[in-house]
Amino acid sequence: MGPGSYLAEQRHFKVAEHSNAEHSNTAQAWHNQSAEEALAHFGSSAAGLSVREAAQRLSADGPNELKEGTRISPIQILLGQFKSIIVWILIAAGVISGVLGDLLDAVAILAIVFLNAVIGFYQEFSAEKSIGALKSLTAPEAKVRRDGHVISIPASNIVAGDILELEAGDLVAADARLLEAAALKCTESALTGESEAVEKQPATLTTGDIPLGDRSNMVFMGTSAAAGTGQAVVVATAMKTELGRVAGLMEEAGSDRDTPLQRKLDSFGRILARSALGIVALMVGIGWLRGTKLLDLFMTSISLAVAAVPEGLTAVVTVALSLGIRRMARRRALVRKLAAVETLGSTSVICTDKTGTLTVGEMTVRSLYVGGQIYEVTGEGYGPEGEVRFEDKTVDSTHLEPLLELATVILGCNHAHLVQEDGTWRTVGDPTEGALLAAGAKAGGDRNRIETEWPKQQELPFDSDRKRSAVIRRTPGGKLRALINGAPGGLLQLCTHVYTSTGILPMTDKDRDLILAQTSAMAEQALRVLGSAYRDLEGGDLEGGRPAGFTIDEVERDLVFVGLTAMYDPPRPEAKGAVAKCQAAGIRVVMITGDHPATAATIARQLGISSSAVAATGVEVEKLSDEQLRQLAPGISVYARVTAEHKLRIIRALQANDAVVAMTGDGVNDAPAIKGADVGIAMGKSGTEVTKQAADMIITDDNFATIVEAVEEGRGVYTNIRKTLQYLLAGNTGELLLMTVCVASGLPTPLLPIHLLWINLVTDGLPALCLATDPADPDVMKHRPRHRSQSITDRAFLRTMFLTGFLTAGVAFAVYLLALRTGTIEVARTSAFTVLVFAELLRSFGVRSETRPVWRVSVFANMNLLIVVTLSIGIQLWIQHCATLGRFLKTSSMPLSDSLLLLAAGAVPLVVLEIGKVVRGFRTQ
């Protein structure tokens, strides 16, 4: 079953066409038109436009520049920090406290809100440069024909109908239909994901639905010419180009989406607001029945409502996310947007580009076939690291001669160069030829020696009809030898002899079948296979020490077949393990690439992403409606030959299935999907500037495994926020229950406003901040991701919260009643206040894990919490013996023995809760 039949075989849907009509009238349809039709449509000719006509078109159509995206002002970013319902509840609580005369409470609450806004603004203040960064991919200058002459003009002055002149190294300045091409190859990886340089030719393509990467008669803005020369008529400029299409998608995808955490906290905020109003109504009702004065009743009710708000929550969330950013930075993941930390932890699907993300992004020779033997080539990319091995052993001297024979051909017929920049090797020229240079050196060849001792005499450039290139060199013995590389099938037809370990022998049908079988075996592994041969030339005009020129027919016949070279863009060594970790954590990995379907499917199988032999193609995606794609998306793990628009549609289809989607990539074609995903992740080394600016997070080492570590950190952040929220709300519940029971019973108020402030901001607030720094649970990656709609305050959370609040309030109420019977109201309030403080501080150790009892969680793993709790207990004991603090907190003195008894009573809720964990543990075994 071919890749094109995948979706049809899997599902039966009526096809619904999806196309961008406006765009199909610009650049997209011209591959189906002849060069003459393109010239006629734009009123141009091979001589180019006149200067006057070009000026008129420039005035009418505007400059060849990408439109700037809408920038977000610093004021908008600052105002965005106040979108949360919880923030407005805190502001209301602060204002009400001020109106009631509790200025200290009001100042403290509003200070927390302000600090939270400042931290969030600092983290997110970054200019929206996604569209502007695309400009770095456009050519500042371009060569065009005007009035029959080739001139260099600013790329922004190019208009439709201009004739571009292209040569190796040029950046293409606009989308154009080829008129002529001589061995032209273009590097389009940033736009299409294709890792190899693409061969270009001017012939008309008759097939209608052709993926962007297969439009061989078109060149596109933002790509570059890797080899050869060409001439093309411009058919689209500025925002009408394929690059402009990406820019438009960036704006479309750039609308802000609330993160899962933001949605959950907003939902919690609404519950909190309703609860506060409910408390006020309840207190008013009880007080009215008891005949309490209305003003006193109102003041008490409002105080209770303010007490219900966990003032430290926003600060804790901000601190937890900020610390997560710092931890991720140490793991080589730079986070640009604060909320992305937690969102990554709830990710259920990671969509990843192939080229440069799962793979090295550099062509690498993997196998050599020469003298009837297969050799393995180790190492990745263009660097010298690696060696040639035979049967898992380093080759010995008996293999050096045949390897050198093959190395001489692949090095001698080569136009690329390898350069080292900042410790990284890269190729100048065709990436395939760069891979041949690296392999030839590992096989024992010496490029510099060949250039010196085998001087070049003539070149026969590659063309798409022959699929071969040849270089004629003079050997040290004075003979002329043609070195030829090309497609194995056509090359074999020209060979009459074969190189073997015993010498040059006539090629038999058996030899030919064996070589073809080896070629097929390599191709089935998604390897690109290149054949090498040579021929010693006789005759020729040697005038001036150089041949006057051999024709192709004179050179490419009666060849000696030397061997095969198999190469591919290899998977990153760490990628397979990272994919396995994602799957073990319940995270689905989906490959979305612009590369060939066979290559994508093979890499996916090697990495364990998919066991299927086929990939869904962009042409198939194009024919599906959004609803059809939504239904199919959960069952597809590999997409190939897709464009930037397809990637964005796939992301949205997954999100429509309630998946939290992270998108990783490095090319321009990844940028819209990265911006549209819940979490966009760019590669720091190989990523284009536009991709980095579109992303929420940047992986500085381009290591897919780093994403898994970032997910682990994100899950840890969410767990810390959840446990901190549990800690704060359970404490507030205990305070409210205690206050409500006492008021309803007609007892004096057990806690004064200063006591509530001290408990909420100091006793609860400081340990809560420490809980936000807790290291991630070792088992955090053994659980499936949270569902997008799962509430942060689920049934288990609420059950624990109310149980904890009941235990805390029960202990405090018992102490309060006992103190009232034996002492004054001041002593009773001091006792209730102190036991509540001790209970809250001790309970912070138990809240660190929902399943493991406190003695199985090392207290030394969070030294900050241990220090804060110890100091807070010490301060609370000191309060009873310091007159100044006593007056400030309105407490009375008490003997140390009584304080220690209250400390023991405060441990009761912790002990009961931990026993409950043990019992639940036995039940689940």
- Region of 422 on the Ramachandran plot (φ > 0 left; ψ -120 to 50 alpha; else beta): left
Neighbour-count burial of 6, counting CB atoms closer than 10 A to its CB (0-12 exposed, 13-18 middle, 19+ buried): buried
List the structure tokens of 283.
């207190």
pLDDT the model gives residue 333: 80
Q: How far apart are CA 618 and CA 642, in angstroms?
A: 4
Neighbour-count burial of 247, counting CB atoms closer than 10 A to its CB (0-12 exposed, 13-18 middle, 19+ buried): buried
Residue 428's CB is within 10 A of a number of other CB atoms, namely 14
Long-range own/partner contacts, residues 541-549 (CB < 8 A, 24 or more apart): 546/457, 546/458, 547/457, 547/458, 547/472, 547/480, 549/458
Evaluate whether 887 touches 754 at the Cβ level (below 8 Å): no
Q: How far apart are CA 343 and CA 263, in angstroms?
A: 11
Tell me which of 479 and 259 has the higher pLDDT. Answer: 479
Q: Is the pLDDT of residue 109 over 90?
A: no
Q: Is the pLDDT of residue 668 over 90?
A: no
Q: Is the pLDDT of residue 6 over 60?
A: no
Residue 896's CB is within 10 A of a number of other CB atoms, namely 10
- Angle ∠(332,337,340) on CA atoms, nearest 5: 80
* Pairing outcome for strands 616-617 and 528-537: unpaired
Q: Is the pLDDT of residue 344 over 70?
A: yes
Percentage, residues of the chain above pLDDT 90? 29
Q: Is the pLDDT of residue 692 over 50?
A: yes
Predicted confidence (pLDDT) per residue in 735-757, tens digit = 888 888 887 787 888 887 678 77
Neighbour-count burial of 2, counting CB atoms closer than 10 A to its CB (0-12 exposed, 13-18 middle, 19+ buried): exposed
Q: How far apart are CA 102 and CA 95, in angstroms?
A: 10
- 702: annotated active-site residue: no
- Tally DSSP H helices, then E strands, for the chain: 36, 28
Name which of 80-84, 208-212, 414-418 the model is least confident about: 80-84
Cβ-based neighbours of 79, under 8 Å, separated by 6 or more: none
Name which of 475-484, 743-752, 805-814 the model is least confident about: 743-752
C-alpha closest to that of 635 among 349, 884, 372, 873: 349
Residue 656's CB is within 10 A of a number of other CB atoms, namely 14
Give the residue-averaged pLDDT of 345-361: 84
Percentage, residues of the chain above pLDDT 70? 81
Active-site choice (105, 353, 430, 678): 353
Bridge partner residues of 225 (DSSP): 186
Q: Is the pLDDT of residue 786 over 60?
A: yes
Mean pLDDT comparison of 286-295, 690-699, 815-824, highest-scoring range: 815-824
pLDDT the model gives residue 573: 81
First to last CA, the chain: 48
Q: In which band, very low, low, confident or very high, does the pLDDT at 663 lie, cut at 50, 70 and 90?
A: very high
pLDDT the model gives residue 380: 84
Evaluate whether 497 touches 504 at the Cβ level (below 8 Å): yes
In one-letter notation, the amino acid at residue 833 is F
* pTM for this entry: 0.67
Evaluate whether 683 touches 706 at the Cβ level (below 8 Å): no
Q: How far apart are CA 574 and CA 591, in angstroms?
A: 16
C-alpha closest to that of 570 among 356, 352, 351, 425: 356
Q: How far apart are CA 328 and CA 715, in angstroms?
A: 12
Q: How far apart are CA 638 and CA 628, in angstroms?
A: 17
Tell me which of 890 and 313 has the higher pLDDT. Answer: 890
Give the residue-averaged pLDDT of 237-265: 70
Bridge partner residues of 566 (DSSP): 367, 529
Evaluate whether 433 touches 427 at the Cβ level (below 8 Å): yes
Q: What is the dihedral of CA 93, 95, 97, 101, to 10 degrees?
A: 180
Mean pLDDT comparison of 220-229, 260-269, 857-866, highest-scoring range: 857-866
Tell me which of 326 and 651 has the higher pLDDT. Answer: 651
Quote the distance between the C-alpha of residue 458 and its chain's center: 47
pLDDT the model gives residue 268: 67
Q: In which band, very low, low, confident or very high, does the pLDDT at 5 lie, cut at 50, 70 and 90?
A: very low
Q: How far apart are CA 906 and CA 835, in angstroms?
A: 5
Predicted confidence (pLDDT) per residue in 585-596, tens digit = 899 999 988 777
Q: How far apart are CA 525 and CA 613, in angstroms?
A: 11
Give the residue-averaged pLDDT of 630-657: 90
C-alpha closest to that of 654 among 690, 683, 679, 681: 679
Tell me which of 363 and 542 has the higher pLDDT. Answer: 363
Q: How far apart are CA 768 and CA 774, in angstroms?
A: 10
pLDDT the model gives residue 170: 81
| Residues recorded for the chain | 925
Q: Going along 396-527, which residue ranges are E strands?
A: 417-421, 424-428, 456-463, 468-474, 480-486, 495-500, 503-506
Q: In which band, very low, low, confident or very high, does the pLDDT at 785 lie, cut at 50, 70 and 90?
A: confident
Predicted confidence (pLDDT) per residue in 854-865, tens digit = 988 888 888 999
pLDDT the model gives residue 12: 35
Evaluate whether 643 touches 594 at the Cβ level (below 8 Å): yes
Neighbour-count burial of 204, counting CB atoms closer than 10 A to its CB (0-12 exposed, 13-18 middle, 19+ buried): middle
Tell me which of 851 and 496 has the higher pLDDT. Answer: 496
* 3-class secondary structure per residue, 14-75: CCCCCCCHHHHCCCHHHHHCCHHHHHHHCCCCCCCECHHHHHHHHHHHCCCCCCCCCCCCHH
CA distances to 369, 442, 454, 472 from 407, in Å: 11, 9, 14, 16
C-alpha closest to that of 272 among 841, 792, 809: 792
List the structure tokens of 136.
């770095």
CA distances to 475, 520, 925 from 433, in Å: 22, 21, 61
Tell me which of 306 and 891 has the higher pLDDT. Answer: 891
Bridge partner residues of 352 (DSSP): 591, 664
Enumerate the H helices of 758-895 as residue ranges. 765-771, 795-822, 825-846, 863-879, 883-889
Instruction: Calculate helix-pair angle for 825-846, 863-879, nearest 10 degrees.
Output: 170
Mean pLDDT of the chain: 81
Give the residue-averaged pLDDT of 207-226: 82
Tell me which of 287 and 19 has the higher pLDDT. Answer: 287
Cβ-based neighbours of 829, under 8 Å, separated by 6 or more: 748, 750, 751, 752, 755, 816, 890, 891
Q: In which band, very low, low, confident or very high, does the pLDDT at 324 lie, cut at 50, 70 and 90?
A: confident
In one-letter notation, the amino acid at residue 383 is G
Predicted confidence (pLDDT) per residue in 419-465, tens digit = 887 778 888 878 889 999 999 999 999 999 999 999 999 888 877 67
Give the residue-averaged pLDDT of 292-305: 62
pLDDT the model gives residue 511: 93
pLDDT the model gives residue 14: 33
Q: Is the pLDDT of residue 700 over 50?
A: yes
CA distances to 176, 273, 366, 518, 622 from 249, in Å: 21, 39, 38, 44, 16
Residue 816's CB is within 10 A of a number of other CB atoms, namely 26
